[in-house]
Structure formats: C-alpha cells, structure tokens
Amino acid sequence: MEQQLKNDLLLRAARCLPVERVPVWMMRQAGRSDPLYRQIRQALNIPLEQLFRTCPAPMSDTDVESAVKISLLPKRIGVDAIIVYKDILTPLAPMGAHFRFDPGPILNPPIRTQSQVDALQSVDDPASQLAFTGNVIRNLRETLNGELPLIGFAGAPLTLAFFLIAGESPIKRGTGVSEKATPVFQMIQEAPDLLHRLLSKLTQMTINYLNYQVDAGAQIVQLFESIADVLPRHIYEDFAFPYHQQIFAELNRKVSGILFAKECTYLDLMHQSGADVLSVGKCVDLSEAKAKTDSTVAFQGNVDNDILRDGTSEDITTAVKTCLNQGGGTGHILNLSHGLHRDTPFDNVKHFVNIAKTL
C-alpha cells in the first residue's frame, strides 16, 4: 500500500487540485549554495562521480548514505519536496559513457561517430545497471517516512546528446552555450540522421530510467532540457519535442511528469509534450501562460534565480509575491527560473522558502 503523505501539496498542485498554499522547492536545492553541503563534500573527500555514480566502481553503502544525507539537507529549511541528489549524466555510465568531474564533467573521447553511437549499450535492466539510484531512492523514502514527496529526474535526450558530443559541459556559466557545443550544431547540420540515432537510444534509456525511479519510490519526476534556451524553434521542434512526447507517453501514469525547458518560449510545444507540469523561466508570464493553456496543465516556476544570488530580501519578497499572483494559487509550484547559483547567499535561499510559505 502506498504510504500516506503528511505533505502532499506538490503532488496535488501538479494535478491542478486545490491546495492550502502553493508548494515550494528549488532546483539544485541540495548543492553548493548550502554551507552544510560544502562541509559534507570536504569531509567525504571523494570524486563527485562517486557520489553521482557516473563511475563503474563497486557500490558502497557509505556512498548511498552520503547521497541520502545530502538529498535531505533542504528539509531543514522547510521545502515541500526532496529531489534525489544525483546528476543528469548518471545513467550514461552503464551505456559506456563514463564522465569524470574535474571539476566539470569530462568524457574522453566524446561521442561523434556512428560506430561510437552504435557502441553505446542499452539500459534495459536499470534495477541492475543503475542499482545505486534505486538504493538511494528507497533509503530516502524510508527516511522521509511520508513527511515529504520525493522527486526523481532525468536529463532530456538532446541535453544529454550535447554533453556526449561536446565531451564536457556545453553550457556557459550564466546562460547560453560555449564553443564546446560547436560539434553538436555541426552534427545537426551535417548528420541529422546520426543525431536522431543517438537520440533514439537516449530516449529509450530515459524512459526505462524514469520508470525505474518510479518503481523504486519516486512520486513525481522531472525531465531537464537544460539547453532549450539556445535552440532555434526548428531545432527544438525536430530534435527535442518528439522525444519529450515519447518519454511522457511511456511514463508510468501513477506519477506526474514535469518538463523543465530552460528559458524556452515555445509554450505550445511544451504544452503538447504530454507533461503534467511545465517548468518555465523568467521569460514567461505565468498568468498569460495559464490563459494560453486554458488551465489544462500546471506550471512550475519562475522566480529569477539571479535575484536570489544578487538581490536583497525585499527584492526576493517582491519577486515571490509577483510570481504567486501570476500563478493564481492553483496548479502552480513555486520554483526558480533555473537552479540555484553556487554563490547564492544561503540566507537568501532560506528567505525565499520562508516568504513563500508566509504569503
């Protein structure tokens, strides 16, 4: 029997059901902006890929316990959901693409030829191939004991392809892509069939991976299209959108699915993806978005993450008020335009959550 949740605000909001208040959580809430996280990482003194399990080393109970401990850190500041601590690159390891972090992700050699794409292995048995993630999720559910819902996630196929083809992060700090993404756009122009071949493999892996997380205990899942802000509409429509549709169509329907497309203005395509929740950036007015979609889908967002890093408490309060007003109270999950910046003052993080729960 499914455990009764003490706080199911996020799950109800995702279904556009009435809520007593709008739930709040943050992307990267268990990460570098938290001084306790930095202390734990320093004390562990192990490679980041070991905590994310993007390395092929044997699984350690200590690593599972550490990932659980880090995932739970934001509970102490009052968020309405916990997201599993891992990286979008995690499921690429059993495919044969082992990223190491130095400090950012590095894959050598990158995946750029048909033989390399064909050599990528299927992830048909995630319970065995990605057992670490399942162990972390089961431990989190047991530790939470129904206190808060648990969010699972995966990177969208095109975002993963950008990393694989670039061989490292293609995303510049701040916004946009770096010159490392040049080979990706070359493949789009010169070898689109090869890219679709890669995306098809990544899509099937992602479907299996997300459904495995649900089977292990994730109660809602999010798909990250983290490079959406640099995609012209025709590229998004051809290389991102159809794979979003396939993933959400084959997602276990006992959970809601969130589509995060970073600063994406193609709201019609996001709406047609099949996601239950659209996580939008600061470029979107929530009241207009809800009107355009006729309240048939929930929204997540969209306080500017720069305000939490650079603003005063008054700036954050104003931004939250504006966002809540635009969200209309129902079918809205309060979050940021993107993840927390590493240099965001932790007092601002706490204020964001506190003011969200106060208003």
* Mean pLDDT across the chain: 94
* Residue-level pLDDT at 53: 67
DSSP 4: P
* Residue-level pLDDT at 313: 97
With tokens 């999720």, the residue in question is: 137
Q: Supply φ then ψ for residue 17, to 5 degrees.
A: -90, 160
* Residue-level pLDDT at 102: 85
With tokens 């991976």, the residue in question is: 209
* Residue-level pLDDT at 359: 87
| Run of H or E including 223 | strand 220-225
Which residues contact residue 154 at a Cβ distance below 8 angstroms, ignoring those fewer than 6 apart?
88, 91, 206, 209, 210, 213, 221, 222, 223, 224
* Residue-level pLDDT at 177: 66
Q: Which segments in the chain show pLDDT lower than 70?
A: 1-3, 53-60, 172-177
* Residue-level pLDDT at 180: 83
* Residue-level pLDDT at 56: 56
- 3-class SS at 313? helix
| Run of H or E including 236 | helix 233-239
Secondary-structure breakdown of the chain: helix, strand, coil percentages, each rounded to the nearest 5: 50, 10, 40
Measured CA to CA, the distance from residue 63 to residue 84 in angstroms comes to: 13
* Residue-level pLDDT at 1: 45
pLDDT digits (tens, 9 = 90+) for 83-99: 999 999 999 999 999 99
CB-based burial of residue 2 (10 Å sphere; 0-12 exposed, 13-18 middle, 19+ buried)? exposed
Which string of b and e fits 82-117 if b means at least 16 CB within 10 Å? bbbbbbbbbbbbbbebbbebeeebebeebbbeeebb
* Residue-level pLDDT at 104: 87
Q: What CATH class does 9-358 carry?
A: alpha beta
Which residues on adjacent β-strands are paired with residue 260? 224, 279
Q: Extract the tokens encoding 258.
A: 């969130």
pLDDT digits (tens, 9 = 90+) for 17-65: 999 999 999 999 999 999 999 999 999 988 888 877 655 556 667 889 9
Domain boundaries along the sequence of the chain: 9-358
* Residue-level pLDDT at 68: 96
